[in-house]
Homo-oligomer: A and B are copies of this chain.
Amino acid sequence: MRETCLVMEADVRVLEERILRDGKNLGGGILKVDSFVNHQVDPLLMDACGKEFAQRFALVGATKILTAEISGIAPALTTAIHLGLPVVYARKTKPITMPDQVYLTLAPSHTKGRMVELIVSPEYLANGEKVLIIDDFLASGQTILGLARLAEAAGSRIVGIGALIEKTFEGGRAALKTLGVPIESLACITSLEDDQILFGEPL
């Protein structure tokens, strides 16, 4: 089973190559990466991506990493391992272990076609925290904006945003500009039209 595990090393283009090899353009702007990111995870690729994020955000002074369950957990965790920082994942349903008073916001889910809740306990997001947001996709930016609202509600400050895969044609980077923080994506897709997967630079 080792053939599914690639090492990114210094060359971040290995994620692009993996998307070209194993990603599936399902049409309608949907890229399926279930064989190495979203259902099956390639741990060594994910570790290499975490290492890359850790390098790119080494100097932003983050004290905590924030992501959204479910697909954000893997890249956020490997980034957290390399930065030595705790990671908090916003829940989409409130577990019984969570206090009654929580930070909660709504964000539209592209893949679910409805609004989902993003919930963080005040226990783990404190006033003055410097938050690095890591997620699997940067598409419309709405999930990440939701995470930023949670952080701001807690009195935390966003210091950076990282996504494994950016889809520039959904405009997320522009939506996040108001946050005024560095935004890094490891693979930047400019078009999924005509059954193709085209890479390029962020807009």
B34-A84 in contact (CB<8A)? no
Query: Does A176 interact with chain B (Cβ within 8 Å)?
Result: no
Which A residues from 132 to 153 make CB contacts under 8 A with B? none
B95-A111 in contact (CB<8A)? yes
B97-A38 in contact (CB<8A)? yes
B5-A84 in contact (CB<8A)? yes
Q: Looking at the complex, which one of B40, B69, B98 makes contact with A34 (CB distance below 8 Å)?
A: B98
Query: Does A96 interact with chain B (Cβ within 8 Å)?
Result: yes
B73-A34 in contact (CB<8A)? no
Q: How large is the interface on A (under 10, 10 to 19, 20 to 34, 35 or more residues)?
A: 35 or more
Complex contacts, A5 vs chain B, CB 8 Å: 84-86
Which of A80, A93, A111 lies at the interface centre, i.e. has the most chain B CB atoms within 10 A of its CB? A80
A43-B77 in contact (CB<8A)? yes
B80-A32 in contact (CB<8A)? no
The minimal Cβ–Cβ distance linking A118 to chain B, given in whole angstroms, is 12
A35-B124 in contact (CB<8A)? yes
5 more CB-based (< 8 A) A-B contacts, given A2-B84, A93-B112: A30-B97, A35-B123, A35-B124, A43-B81, A96-B111
A-B pairs with beta carbons under 8 Å apart, 25 shown: A1-B64, A2-B84, A2-B85, A26-B97, A30-B96, A30-B97, A34-B95, A34-B97, A34-B98, A39-B89, A39-B91, A39-B95, A39-B120, A40-B87, A40-B88, A41-B87, A41-B88, A43-B80, A46-B77, A69-B69, A69-B70, A70-B73, A73-B73, A77-B78, A93-B112
